[in-house]
Chains A and B, each alone.
Chain A
Amino acid sequence: MERRNIEDQLTLYGQSFTSRLLLGTARYDSPSLLSDAICAADPAMLTVSVRRQISASNDTGQSFWNLLRDTRRVILPNTAGCLTAREAVRTACMARELFQTNLVKLEVIGDEVNLQPDPFGLVDAATELVKLGFQVLPYCTEDWVLCRRLMDAGCEALMPWAAPIGTGQGPRNPRALRELRERVSQIPLIVDAGIGLPSHACQVMEWGFDGVLLNTAVSRSLHPVRMASAFAEAIKGGRNAFLAGPMIMQEKAVSSTPEIGRPFTSESSQSAHPQGRATGPV
């Protein structure tokens, strides 16, 4: 079994993080709930966006800015809702000016029904943004060719979806996600969108993904603070399991308790089952 790194940190564009959870800031019932959920999740980054001022909104403007600043977390602005590469690039430029960061979660939406990424616009936008000095984290699908094109464009991390944004369905295409992980060994892969349960997050971490980006699964749960904590634990558990190197699945039962010395058996009955039998749960 390959030796895996025990000094375990997530590194994105040269910044290292002990947490592997990236948390969205939208759809919380109140700023205080968001703030408490951030404390419970202990995320590496917080995703944010830019919009025209909406009056009387809790999650925009100066109060939201102050809340973000108080968390002292790394900010990851998105280009949510952009339908063209041109729109996404311009939004990213506005976000960089506002948040003073080169990081951008690049979204170019190709379908307004399932919010699926537009692979063509995504590559065009990523190419342009990398030229402009951005550190691009593209929200993409698990399509291998798309991911390769994004890496060719200069993306040093990718964020394939588990399922459409906000659905909470969990990994829709596990085989393709796992194949992507096997083929992309050189840069971080963050599963972004479609995660609904801590078990989904744990599962993708067990597969070797480097992190998980969440929003709705926490903010629209009944108890967001508790759920944020549950996700943080699940992601750590999945990561530890991956690092620990899971056992290889077997086709047949294998006794975990030694067969030799089992009482109330004759020599002949023990020798009649030289492979041993399952004697109980592991």
Chain B
Amino acid sequence: MSVVVNGETYPLPEPRTLAALLLSLSPLAPFAVARNEELVPRGTYEECPIEPGDRIDIVHPTAGG
């Protein structure tokens, strides 16, 4: 039972929330998160459930033209 974070497989967090997953991954701030391609607003990570097979994208600021 796993989730896919930025294209890589990770074990499901416990409890099964986005907040728990982010706690284990510790991405450097600032970042924004999408679950199954839908933005998860900051401040709602605790309430965001994680299911097996979910696709999580974590993005950061980067240079752009």
Is residue A53 within 8 Å, beta carbon to beta carbon, of the partner chain? Answer: yes
Q: Which residues of B contact A54 (CB under 8 A)?
A: 62
B41 and A97 within 8 A (CB):
yes
How many A residues are at the interface, by size bracket? 35 or more
Q: Which chain A residues numbered 26 to 57 have a C-beta less than 8 Å away from chain B? A: 26-28, 34, 47-54, 57
Q: How far is the CB of A96 from chain B (nearest CB, A)?
A: 8
Give the secondary structure class of A's interface. mixed
How many B residues are at the interface, by size bracket? 20 to 34
Is residue A65 within 8 Å, beta carbon to beta carbon, of the partner chain? Answer: yes
Q: Which residues of B contact A77 (CB under 8 A)?
A: 64
Is residue A25 within 8 Å, beta carbon to beta carbon, of the partner chain? Answer: yes
B42 and A64 within 8 A (CB):
no
A27 and B61 within 8 A (CB):
no
Q: Mark A138-166, 1 if CB is under 8 A from B, else 0.
A: 00000000000000000000000000011
16 contacts between A and B (CB under 8 A): A48-B64, A49-B64, A52-B7, A52-B59, A59-B63, A61-B62, A68-B61, A77-B64, A78-B64, A80-B64, A80-B65, A90-B38, A90-B39, A94-B32, A97-B39, A97-B41
**A interface residues, Cβ below 8 angstroms from B:** 24-28, 34, 47-54, 57, 59-62, 64-65, 68, 77-78, 80, 90, 93-95, 97-99, 165-166, 215-216
